[in-house]
Structure 1
């Protein structure tokens, strides 16, 4: 697909991000402003049906929108990913009441949506057990209730002004794992201080703990976590890959904007990376659009791994062509993009986890 630059799609947002990208990455002062900015630019509605308050389009269009933001600020794109992924959960949820009640404020950017399902995605791949537990309390006026306990050490977009966080729970009575939307003001829910990240510091990333919180079925995204996770995994990872695509595009654009001598010195490498980015992006878009990643998640893992390697190579090439200017504060975004690129391999599921999963897949296939 032809990427639409953010400056064309949302010029006011692009200008705001360019002005504040360094502060968004290095400080927490602008954390409250990112989501409303995305909302005003109407980006959160992309890929959501019109009858649900969206602007129509597909998940691929949403991936490309995240890529557009990532080209200006990976921290803002990280927030965008968390919000848009939570919106995707509600689009797939059978809980129509939950969707009707909360989707409008999520699409406008008034309320934050946090995807706390990284642990659950690792659980789906048999990488770790679920860290949250639900104990049934019985019915009240015909409505089922549970006591919820557990903790999640790392969730993005836990905006202090208000959030819903998705989390998967084992059930003590042997029922299948389910997924709840956790409201920020639930009794027994505690948000930690923001984690002391080395970058992306305005992303409202913190830990959550539940001690005896009580929620009923109106907050349940699904009562069948495993099948739900299989359905949403392509969007979860596909939207996440948008961050890599946008960062790589911006680094390669910086290489193209360098001096003629620098461009000539790395011309072959730049051409190879540009072509590889186009190939991987199209493979991602096709797999998400046509649903092939549902049956072949390993193919999606391979794209995610390859994009992470490409981002690393593109940013290193930018450092080479920028030279000493990139080592001076305020002279370029090279240093920030280097910090941003360091995050790409560790965002859950991490590259190490995906490589281990692919190795297990190959062993199983060989057997």
Structure 2
């Protein structure tokens, strides 16, 4: 279910003009490609009105995958925005949807997810970091989220807070909310251009018209398949770019790379199989989140294999800090540790 040709051409032009020239700056100087994200919306590539869910999802997968071929940091930021869009498209809070969905889809408002800790909480890996208390007209939220990406002064993000042990709420938070403070995190191995911050909530008021759900447990069950599905092409994009870098090296040093154990056709076959499995799954309703999680896990392992193979095929040239294979190596290790991480997925799929 590929994106229509006209949209593909628009995306290719945006990547060429708004992303490719900045890839090294993103990787080396923690540059945040905000303009690219906004122009995706301005170009109409995020619209969902009067379109089947499977078509909207397939288009989002294509956007992430094509972006990741050039820069997975920015593709990850796009995934954050698509996650936020998923929350708003799914909520039964019609005022929230009416207020925010148009601006999230047209690029005037950018969103983020904030669900790393809650997803780990529901898998039994962590305690919930945010607490909420009911007050007149909404809730007061306190606590700390260690890292939320794709944030900016006028951005919004989803978060889950516990009222008590039995009930959690999911809210949509404005970054300019009083009582909310940020500390930038840019000392990672890679993806420092992802606008990632730790977020400290000190009695942040969330009005009722910004509550996504009073039952976060049930809401997460609804959004989780799409949340995970949108991550998968992050790996596909990096894998595809790695395959191309391997193919470029085929004649170097008198064709010596032919003796390496892993070659690009093997990687390409695995990638195509996973892509077909994913497209088949998203055409079915309801989405089976465990089947999607299996593909997410397989894609993570494949991406690690692809970047390591590309490092070997590119030889000493890849061992420069600024090389594209080295960047993709760091991107792949981020993908392996993106919630749900490989060990998180291994646990939930074993149950």
The TM-score, its normalising length taken from structure 1, stands at 0.86
Name the structure 2 match of 1:307.
299
SS at match of 1:209: strand
Whether contact under 8 Å (1:146, 1:216) holds in the other structure is yes
Shift of residue 61 of structure 1?
2.0
Number of residue pairs aligned between Structure 1 and Structure 2: 346
Name the structure 1 match of 2:266.
272
Structure 2 residue runs of 5 or longer lacking an equivalent are none
Name the structure 2 match of 1:22.
24
Whether contact under 8 Å (1:38, 1:80) holds in the other structure is no
RMSD: 2.6
Shift of residue 241 of structure 1?
1.0
Whether contact under 8 Å (1:124, 1:229) holds in the other structure is no
Shift of residue 67 of structure 1?
0.5
Q: Does 1:251 align with 2:252?
A: no
What is the alpha-carbon distance in structure 1 between the residues aligned to residue 272 and residue 256 of structure 2?
23
Structure 1 residue runs of 5 or longer lacking an equivalent are 362-367
Shift of residue 326 of structure 1?
2.7
1:278-312 Cα offsets, whole Å, 9 max, x none, are: 11122222223313643xx3333222121111111
Shift of residue 201 of structure 1?
1.4
Name the structure 2 match of 1:365.
none
Whether contact under 8 Å (2:79, 2:230) holds in the other structure is yes
Shift of residue 22 of structure 1?
1.5
1:152-195 Cα offsets, whole Å, 9 max, x none, are: 101111123x11110011114x7621100011111111122234
Name the structure 2 match of 1:84.
82
Whether contact under 8 Å (1:49, 1:57) holds in the other structure is no
Shift of residue 234 of structure 1?
0.8
SS at match of 1:255: helix
What is the alpha-carbon distance in structure 2 between the residues aligned to residue 219 and residue 328 of structure 1?
47
Quickly say closer, same or farther: Cα 1:31–1:192, change in 2 above 3 A: farther
Choose from 335, 343, 351 the match for 1:352: 343
Name the structure 2 match of 1:159.
152
Shift of residue 31 of structure 1?
4.5
1:202-261 Cα offsets, whole Å, 9 max, x none, are: 111111111111222101011111111111111111101110111111111222232332
1:10-47 Cα offsets, whole Å, 9 max, x none, are: 233222322211111222344443422433444333xx
1:110-130 Cα offsets, whole Å, 9 max, x none, are: 222010112222223233232
Q: Pairwise mapping of residues 1-367 of structure 1 onto structure 2 (< 5 A)?
A: 1=1, 8-15=9-16, 16-45=18-47, 48-50=48-50, 57-137=55-135, 139=136, 144-160=137-153, 162-172=154-164, 176-260=167-251, 261=255, 264-265=258-259, 269-291=263-285, 293-294=287-288, 297-328=289-320, 332-359=323-350, 361=351
